[in-house]
Structure 1
């Protein structure tokens, strides 16, 4: 068989890609009142502005089940699990506990993607393609680690209040003044979400987002992922601009943020994940 890659539901990959590459996806959870919703599994209707809506990581038990299932499917070749940044979620730590409980440190390798959304998904694609090509556990793991280190993420949100409340944004946000007259442009730095700069108008913010992605992509056939929450038209516009400015792109994916990330980012959020050199 081949090495199997596992990720979590924040990775933003389409069902077709997941099925094609045999990726195992573990759902994270959204808590709406007294209801617990498994992302990507249960029907969901969420008021993203409600204070009562929260999220929770996958549990060690859930991850252990997924890892054991993946190990069986790999026929002993091993598992590489690529999860969203440990600075943003307890999922990676739950994964580490699951591997310890299994006594499977030599067969299940954990990777902190240092990102979220398609910044996790693109390294997953890179690793899963290596696995499908028949490469060893060590080679697939090293590919995922290298891709995670190269990836860059830029996110435009309307407000940072939800991120601050959830502890996902650096306290440096306090130095950026009122958000009523600015559009916060964020980026991920070593797995932590930081404010990159403040922009006065939405059109200027979009231009800054595109410029940051173009600079990060370089000219070596980067892979890009664009995500949004309730901003499909803007996401398509950004995609068109990036295709025009980066004709050598190896691939570009457009998807909506899932509810786990959407709860923290808010409606209107736009993000661009960049993997220089691509996912091959």
Structure 2
């Protein structure tokens, strides 16, 4: 029996990708004006960004214990081995909830074979981990092979991103109110990265034109096997800049596969419209 790969909607993969790679995804929640939506199912990222531009402030909620319980139980009852690769535990409580439910299910179904893994990744960085694990699983790889490769990609995944307006990060407590105000006046664009699952400011860059160039330089410093690996770029409703960055990468490194998609509603609610994020491996592609 093949291994079932599970993830949540913070992977920012679209429904078509989930179907193509036989991935089961559990939606996080987006809350707007006291109405709750399933991320990527009941509401699109585009709708969320449009409403943010109109002044609305979305909130998000993790996958519920009940959803995990029902999903894990259904697979355990069938004797289906599965691995749930989770959104970074530093950005959401979803992983901790899944671990709690894991204990319950394993006590009830002693022969169930599954693991809950903290990827320490987000957006399409997380999505790339899922794609690689799912490809392997679909090809008939063993449980241990899927687990090992998924963990390898999670460990070596780089996240480099910038936001268009510091105000959204300020609302989430990522930067101070003063920094957001001054940054807006000076047109300062922050460059951030992920370190052990946390969002960490890397440097400040004046002017949006310089940001993409600097993202490429950071990738050059950190990346490995840049021509052959699959990369990803996610964007907060700014496809033009995402495609511009992709073209710069292709011209510089001859990279064959760059997946572009929206920063989904869960992460976009905190990063805001105009976010551009780049994901790549810092070690050899496997």
- Structure 1 length normalisation: TM-score? 0.89
CA distance in 2, matches of 1:107, 1:278: 29
Deviations 1:10-39 (A, max 9, x none): 112233331122100100111112100101
Task: Determine which of 267, 270, 275 is the counterpart of 2:273.
Answer: 267
1:250 positional shift? 5.2
Return the alpha-carbon distance in structure 1 between the equivalents of residues 221 and 36 of structure 2: 40
The answer for unaligned runs of 5 or more in structure 2 is none
CA distance 1:160–1:67, shift in 2 (3 Å): farther
2:59 is aligned with 1:54: yes
Counterpart residue number, 1:252? 258
Residues 157 and 64 (structure 1), Cα distance of their counterparts in 2 relative to 1, 3 Å cut: same
Q: What is the deviation of 1:278? A: 7.0
Contact 1:122/1:275, CA 8 A, preserved across alignment: no
Is 1:227–2:234 an aligned residue pair?
Answer: yes
- Two-structure CA RMSD over aligned residues (Å): 2.4
State the 1:251 CA deviation. Answer: 2.2
- The alpha-carbon deviation at position 267 of structure 1 amounts to 0.8
Instruction: Establish whether residue 141 from structure 1 lines up as the match of residue 147 from structure 2.
Output: yes
Instruction: From 104, 112, 116, give the equivalent of 1:110.
Output: 116
SS at match of 2:231: strand
Residue 128 of structure 1, CA deviation: 1.0
Gapped regions of structure 1 (runs ≥ 5): none
Structure 2 equivalent of residue 160 of structure 1 = 166
In 2: Cα distance, 1:36 partner to 1:273 partner: 30
CA contact (8 A) 2:167 2:181 kept: no
Residues 7 and 83 in structure 1, CA contact (< 8 A), matched pair in contact too? yes
Deviations 1:204-241 (A, max 9, x none): 11111122223333236222110101211000100111
Residue 90 (structure 2) pairs with residue 87 (structure 1): yes
How far apart are residue 86 of structure 1 and its match? Answer: 0.4
- Judge conservation of contact 1:77–1:107 (CA < 8 Å) in 2: yes
- In the TM superposition, what is the alpha-carbon distance from 1:94 to its structure 2 partner? 1.4
Aligned to 2:79: 76
Residue in 2 that maps onto 1:18: 18
The structural deviation recorded for 1:67 is: 2.8
Separation in structure 2 between the aligned mates of residue 176 and residue 38 of structure 1, nearest angstrom:
30
* Partner Cα separation in structure 1 for residue 271 and residue 83 of structure 2: 28
More helix by share: 2
